[in-house]
Amino acid sequence: MDQSTVLIPEYKAHYGTLANYVDGRWLQSSSSRSLIVDNPATGQEIATVPLSGAGEVDQAVRAAERAFGEWRRVPPQERVQHLYKLKTLIEQRFEDLARVVTQEHGKTLDEARGSVQRGVDHLEVAAGMPSLMMGYNLEDGAGRGIDEEMIRQPLGVFACIAPFNFPMMVPFWFWPYAVAAGNTYIVKPSEQVPIGQNLLFELIGEAGFPAGVMNLVNGDREVVEALLTHPTVRGVSFVGSTKVARIVYETSAKHGKRVQAQGGAKNHLVVMPDALIEKAVGNWINSMFGCAGERCLAGATLVCVGDEAHQKTREAFLAAASPLTVGYGLDERVDVGAVISRAAQERIHCYIEKGLAEGAELVLDGRNPEIITPGCGGGFFVGPTIFDKVTPDMTIAQEEIFGPVACIMQVENLDQALEIIARSPFGNAASIYTQDGWTARRFKYEADAGNIGINVGVPAAMAYFPFAGRKDSFFGDLHGQGRDAIDFFTDKKVVVNRWIWDGKAAGTWS
């Protein structure tokens, strides 16, 4: 079938001017400011997003605050029924949601499908809230006839400030747990990719969440600042760059809020001499070039231990990366989709030029890739790029590029590899490729990163585990997902009970 025929209708897709969803209703923003949303694969306009103001944030917060009083009294087993209904609706519109993610972000359709499915996973885990939220108790825990118990309670209004790279998935790290625990919520999608959340909130409305429980406010920095400083917002979840994550953390904490702020990354993949390179290479390709490198768990540097591991890694990696195709993510032939914007494309090009200037060897140049999809001349593409002979002091070895650029460096032993990881300001993820159990255990024990992979290039936690991270990759105490989410969205209350019986203090009769 002619691919251009298949894709032409997608070029013309336009979602109009988006709206906010507040108190169970769609409301056009009163702001005079707006932003054009482009399809990164074509450069064509596909929507207009309003850049709402602080007053509209206050309107959403007040709606969420009103809803909280009644929502927290709904039994947990009833609250989670809305998650089940939403899961069914998402499964019915699964392809639509995935295609929207590809249109607004640029990633391939398979990658978009995977991100939608990860969102569904969180609904399934959060639906276990009647068990997850349980407390504990101890008879006579504080003395004879004095019982002690711990109960969990929701706190109120929470908010998520979402990134551009996973517009559908990341908000699911947070809000299902928050609302299942009895809180109310506000989602602020990235202004670069707001369409998917718009469609999702249509389904949230269909799922029957009471008015005010779930709210959506489009905008930019003004909305973020309003959420961080609003006295009624009890906690904020953020995913984005380290620079902004630090600001979100400091500002939220200053205003007395709970905060979890996921920052940037520079993830290392250590290749030991006994690594099964022919089996691992596909894993490296996915880690380093999947989602066009625009993910915080993307592998950035292959750290090869010894000459032989380095030579085999370079040959196998280059051979696997060279045939990868570049184009529109809705084209099923495409391996690597577009990056998010022209500015991102230019920033990645600058890093490639810095690598050359600092003496790295460019063995695969992705600056002018062949685009296999017709009609994408205006898109924002960078092809798979590989540098060899990279040293730890180079800019491309230190800074997050957030694009399909991979580095290869060589070290003499595992000690040196671990030292490189330790010296990085980031601590999001690190992986090792080996068949030796002792080496793997040592790496797991010593590698200074929050998400560790053993023969796994993208060590992404499943929904029932926390999404870890440390150093400049995470600011806060409790991570998203899993048990951490339950602790973040509830407060522990300890109750000490002593009852008087027949005029006597408990425990005094005999």
Q: What is the CATH number of the domain that holds 365?
A: 3.40.309.10
User: Which residue segment(s) compose the domain that 405 sits in?
Assistant: 267-454
Q: How confident is the model at residue 503 (pLDDT cuts 50, 70, 90)?
A: low
Residue 14 lies in a domain: yes
Catalytic residue ranges: 296
pLDDT at 509 (0 to 100): 47
pTM above threshold 0.75: yes
Q: How confident is the model at residue 14 (pLDDT cuts 50, 70, 90)?
A: confident
- The token pair at 289 is 């070039």
Number of domains forming the structure of the chain? 2
pLDDT at 2 (0 to 100): 39
- Same domain, residue pair 255 and 315: no
- Same domain, residue pair 194 and 153: yes
pLDDT at 505 (0 to 100): 55
> pLDDT digits over 388-435, tens only?
999 999 999 999 999 999 999 999 999 999 999 999 999 999 999 999
Residue 463 lies in a domain: no
Residue 499 lies in a domain: no
Q: Confirm if 212 and 204 have CB atoms less than 8 A apart.
A: no
- Same domain, residue pair 223 and 288: no
**Which residues are CB-neighbours of 359 under 8 A, at least 6 positions away?**
389, 391, 394
- Same domain, residue pair 162 and 294: no
pLDDT at 6 (0 to 100): 38
Whether 10 shows a pLDDT value over 60: the answer reads no
Q: Confirm if 401 and 351 have CB atoms less than 8 A apart.
A: yes
- Same domain, residue pair 247 and 271: no
- Same domain, residue pair 196 and 311: no
Q: How confident is the model at residue 116 (pLDDT cuts 50, 70, 90)?
A: very high
* Average pLDDT taken over every residue of the chain: 95
Containing H/E element for 405? Answer: strand 405-411
The β-bridge relationship of strands 426-427 and 470-471 is antiparallel
Rounded Cα distance between 202 and 189, Å, is 15
pLDDT at 275 (0 to 100): 98
Q: Confirm if 19 and 26 have CB atoms less than 8 A apart.
A: yes
Buried b (16+ CB within 10 A) or exposed e, 301-338: bbbbbeeebbebbbebbbebbeebbbbbbbbeebbbbb
Whether 210 shows a pLDDT value over 80: the answer reads yes
- Residue 91: CB atoms within 10 A of its CB come to 12
Please spell the DSSP secondary structure of 343-361, one letter per residue.
HHHHHHHHHHHHHHHTT-E
For residue 42, the 8-state DSSP code is T
pLDDT at 502 (0 to 100): 66
Q: How many residues appear in the chain? A: 510
> pLDDT digits over 61-106, tens only?
999 999 999 999 999 999 999 999 999 999 999 999 999 999 999 9
Q: What are phi and psi of 178, to 5 degrees?
A: -65, -50
CA count, 13 A, side-chain hemisphere, 320? 20
pLDDT above 90 coverage of the chain, percent = 94
- Same domain, residue pair 166 and 22: yes
Containing H/E element for 299? Answer: strand 299-305
Q: How confident is the model at residue 499 (pLDDT cuts 50, 70, 90)?
A: confident
**Which residues are CB-neighbours of 253 under 8 A, at least 6 positions away?**
259
Across the range 184-203, mean pLDDT stands at 97
44: left (phi over 0), alpha (psi -120 to 50) or beta: beta
- Same domain, residue pair 58 and 166: yes
Whether 500 shows a pLDDT value over 90: the answer reads no
- Same domain, residue pair 211 and 346: no
Q: What is the 3-state secondary structure (H, E, C) of 151-215?
A: EEEECCEEEEECCCCCCCCHHHHCHHHHHHCCCEEEEECCCCCCHHHHHHHHHHHHCCCCCCCEE
> pLDDT digits over 297-314, tens only?
999 999 999 999 999 999
Residue 465 lies in a domain: no
pLDDT at 421 (0 to 100): 98
Residue 211 lies in a domain: yes
Query: 358: buried, middle or exposed (CB in 10 Å: 19+, 13-18, 0-12)?
Result: middle
- Same domain, residue pair 121 and 248: yes
CATH of the domain at 161: 3.40.605.10
Rounded Cα distance between 199 and 95, Å, is 12
- Same domain, residue pair 58 and 106: yes
Strand partners, 388: 361
> pLDDT digits over 158-183, tens only?
999 999 999 999 999 999 999 999 99
Helices 414-423 & 437-446 angle (0-180, nearest 10): 20
Across the range 189-202, mean pLDDT stands at 97
The label of the residue with tokens 């997902």 reads 481
Residue 500 lies in a domain: no
- Same domain, residue pair 125 and 251: yes
Helices 221-229 & 54-71 angle (0-180, nearest 10): 50
Residue type, 13: A
- The token pair at 128 is 């276990």
pLDDT at 501 (0 to 100): 72
Whether 254 shows a pLDDT value over 80: the answer reads yes
Cα-based torsion angle of the residue sequence 158, 488, 458, 462 in order, rounded to the nearest 10 degrees:
-100
